[in-house]
Amino acid sequence: MDFELTADQRGIQGLTRELAEAEIVPNATSWDRSHRFPDELYPKLAELGLMGACIPEEYGGAGADFLSYILVLEELSRADAGVGVTVAVHTSATTLPILTFGTDEQKSRFVPPLARGEQLGAFALTESGSGSDAGSLRTVAEQEGEEWVITGSKQWITNGSRAGTFVLFARTDPATAGARGISCFVLSAEHVRVTREEEKLGLNSSTTSDLAIEGARAGRDRLLHEEGRGFRIAMATLDGGRIGIAAQALGIAQAAYDVARRYAHEREQFGRRIGDFQAIQWKLADMATEIDAARLLTYRAAWLKQEGRPHTAEGAKAKLYASEMARRQTAEAIQILGGYGYTKEFPVERFYRDAKITEIYEGTSEIQRLVIARSILGRQAREEPVVQT
């Protein structure tokens, strides 16, 4: 086994960290407090190829491997998890499914503007009545001549108010219940209307929107893959997307650990640095150990995906462990900082708020355990419930 990153992987990791330290870290607190989406940031990421890190060069991307992309998400989320989720949904949940399931014409038409960062992407699966039970979605697409007419609503859509391209799921066979009657479409901003911006606990520099689709007309060329195979696209997309969520959680936890460790070196009580006390030492030891464990699970899942090997259970394990670890260890960072940790003077309270959602979106921890249990027991369910923002 070789656990070393390649020179190219270290290069993109270092490039992302340098940009994050210069452009994101100094602004993350103000973005969080003002709930501001940093529109000016994403052209800068695009200039460095980070909006299409793992997209082939022929489609406008940087041509890096999937693990390099996961390193990008980790570094961005270490600086600001709202930026991390924006890039993750744009890449994992929008650009990659078009690249994977699209026709040559669809790939040539839709992927380059996304990979070059000229447009943001969004993934529209969840509805008010279909979260974990995504197969119960009610948005409908009906054929009229050479067009599809799509009507319905979507909820909790990351990038919804900024996206130019939407991977959207609708029921094309109302007579078929569950997942089998669902198809996937590539829609543009003109096809949807933003009805509400969500106020969230964390990730305040990202946008989360409710959408209305009101008789949107889309040509047959907007159908992604085959009619009735949309749920397969959703599941395959989430398999990879969950690795990205694990990377986000990993970045958040690493940021919290970095602050807590520095504070333990500087803060003095009873005439000694608090890092000299065993209680604090053990907390930091547990944090370091769990972060390393999450990193290994995440990188393994990313490597399996880039090798084209099965990674459903491995991605679920990475997301389950990394997200719960991030929630635990951001709380421990607050504990190490004590009263300061509970204030907005230090960023650990933001890390704590940002970490919680990683246990919920792209499949709750309960859903991840279900996915893992099925792999252990050798069971394949025809419909896997999911959650996706």
Q: Which residues are catalytic?
A: 362
Residues 6+ apart with CB under 8 A from 50: 15, 16, 19, 62, 72, 76, 87
Distance CA 71, CA 50 (A): 11
Residues 121 and 162: beta-carbon distance below 8 Å: no
Using CA atoms of 300, 302, 304, 307 in order, give the dihedral in degrees to the nearest 10: -140
The neighbouring-strand residues paired with 127 are 130
Distance CA 55, CA 49 (A): 9
Q: Which helix (H) or strand (E) holds 182?
A: strand 182-188
Cα dihedral sign for 42, 24, 318, 122? negative
Q: Which helix (H) or strand (E) holds 140?
A: strand 140-144
Phi, psi of 344 (to 5 degrees): -85, 5
Distance CA 387, CA 389 (A): 7
Three-state secondary structure call for residue 52: helix
Residues 338 and 279: beta-carbon distance below 8 Å: no
Residues 66 and 242: beta-carbon distance below 8 Å: no
Q: Tally Cβ neighbours within 10 Å of residue 339.
A: 8
Look-up of token digits 């005439």: 271
Residues 6+ apart with CB under 8 A from 191: 150, 166, 213, 216, 218
Three-state secondary structure call for residue 345: coil
